[in-house]
Amino acid sequence: MWRRVASLSSSISSSFLAQTASRLNTWESLTTGIAQQAKGVIAPKEKTPFITFVLGGPGSGKGTQCIKIVETFGFAHLSAGDLLRREIASKSADGAMILNTIKEGKIVPSQVTVKLIQKEMELSDNHKFLIDGFPRTEENRVSFEQILSEWQSQIGVEPNVVLFFDCPEEEMVKRVLNRNEGRVDDNLETIKKRLTVFQALSLPVINYYSEKGKLYTIKAIGTEDEIFEQVRPIFAAFEQTVG
C-alpha cells in the first residue's frame, strides 16, 4: 500500500513523520514501514511514481489499449470512468449525481474524481500508473496537479507521459454503439453530447500537454494489435528508467 507521507499525519506522531520523511526520498509503504520500524529497520521504497494519462474521445480504444499496456509493461490501470461507475454501483452518496452526469455525457466535479483516483493510487502497490480517461477538462488537470504538488519534491506536478488516441468520430461512434457492455451512455444521443464535450473541454487539455512536449499521439485506427505496435515503443523507451 503506497501512502503519501503527508497523509499519515492524523494517525502518526509528527516526530515519527519527520523521522520517516527524512529517511525516505519517495512515497512510503505504510504497512511495510511500520512493521520495519518496529524491528528498527526502515527500508526505503526507492521507486518513484510514473504517471501516464490516457486520453482520447469516447470509443477511441483507451481501455482496450490499457489492458495491453498492463499485460506487457505491468502498469496499474485506473480508469476514471470505471471508478465513477463503481460509485454508482455501490450507491455511494455521490452515486445518483454521477449517474445523471454520465447519462448527460457531462463531466463529474473534479473533487469527486480526483479523490477516487488519489485513493486508488495510495492503495496500490504499483508505482506505474495508467490514468485512463482523465483529466477531461482543464479544471480536472489543475485539480490533479494540486494533488501531485503535495508530492512535488518527489515527482513534480506533471505526468511523465500523456497518450492521445486520435480516432475519427465516425469510427468512435461505430465502436461505442457496438460495445454492448450495458453502459448507460452507449447510445447515440449521449455519444453526440460526449463528442461535443470532448471537443470543447478535453482537446484543450491535450493541446496543453502537446505544448509541454509530453504528448504521444497514436493513430487509433486499424486492428487493436496494429495500434498497440505504436504504443509499445513509447513504454519500451522508458522501461530501463522506470523499472
Ligand X SMILES: Nc1ncnc2c1ncn2[C@@H]1O[C@H](COP(=O)(O)OP(=O)(O)OP(=O)(O)O)[C@@H](O)[C@H]1O
Q: Which residues bind Mg ion (CB under 5 A)?
A: 62-63
Helices 30-38 and 14-23: crossing angle in degrees, nearest 10, is 100
CA 119 vs CA 4, 78, 91: distances in Å: 11, 11, 18
Scanning residues 144 to 173, which ones bind ligand X (CB under 6 A)?
Answer: none
Is 110 annotated to bind ligand? no
Is 86 annotated to bind ligand? no
Q: Determine, following the binding rule CB under 6 A, whether residue 60 of this chain makes contact with ligand X.
A: yes
Q: What is d(CA 3, CA 190) in angstroms, rounded to the nearest whole number?
A: 37
Q: What is d(CA 126, CA 49) in angstroms, rounded to the nearest whole number?
A: 8
Q: Using the minimum distance from each CB to Mg ion, give the nearer residue, 64 or 154.
A: 64
- What's the N-to-C CA distance of the chain in angstroms? 18
Is 23 annotated to bind ligand? no
Whether the bond between 233 and the residue before it is cis, its omega within 30 degrees of 0, is: no
Q: Determine, following the binding rule CB under 6 A, whether residue 105 of this chain makes contact with ligand X.
A: no
Q: Using the minimum distance from each CB to ligand LLZGTKA7, give the nearer residue, 42 or 162.
A: 162
Q: Determine, following the binding rule CB under 6 A, whether residue 185 of this chain makes contact with ligand LLZGTKA7.
A: yes
156 exposed, middle or buried (CB, 10 Å; 0-12, 13-18, 19+)?
middle
Q: Considering CB distances under 5 to 8 angstroms, the limit depending on partner class, which of Mg ion, ligand X, ligand LLZGTKA7, none binds residue 108? A: ligand LLZGTKA7
**Site stretch for ligand LLZGTKA7 (CB under 6 A), options 10-18, 47-55, 104-112, 219-227:** 104-112
Q: Using the minimum distance from each CB to ligand LLZGTKA7, give the nearer residue, 43 or 89.
A: 89
What b/e string do you get for 59-95 counting C-beta neighbours within 10 Å, with b at 16 or more?
bbbbbebbebbeeebebbbbbbbebbbebbeeeeebb
133 and 26 Cβ atoms separated by less than 8 Å? no
Q: Determine, following the binding rule CB under 6 A, whether residue 33 of this chain makes contact with ligand X.
A: no
63 and 181 Cβ atoms separated by less than 8 Å? no
Q: Determine, following the binding rule CB under 6 A, whether residue 61 of this chain makes contact with ligand LLZGTKA7.
A: no
The binder of ligand LLZGTKA7 chosen from 55, 78, 108, 231 (CB under 6 A): 108
Q: Determine, following the binding rule CB under 6 A, whether residue 64 of this chain makes contact with ligand X.
A: yes
Q: Determine, following the binding rule CB under 6 A, whether residue 231 of this chain makes contact with ligand LLZGTKA7.
A: no
Q: Using the minimum distance from each CB to ligand LLZGTKA7, give the nearer residue, 60 or 160.
A: 60
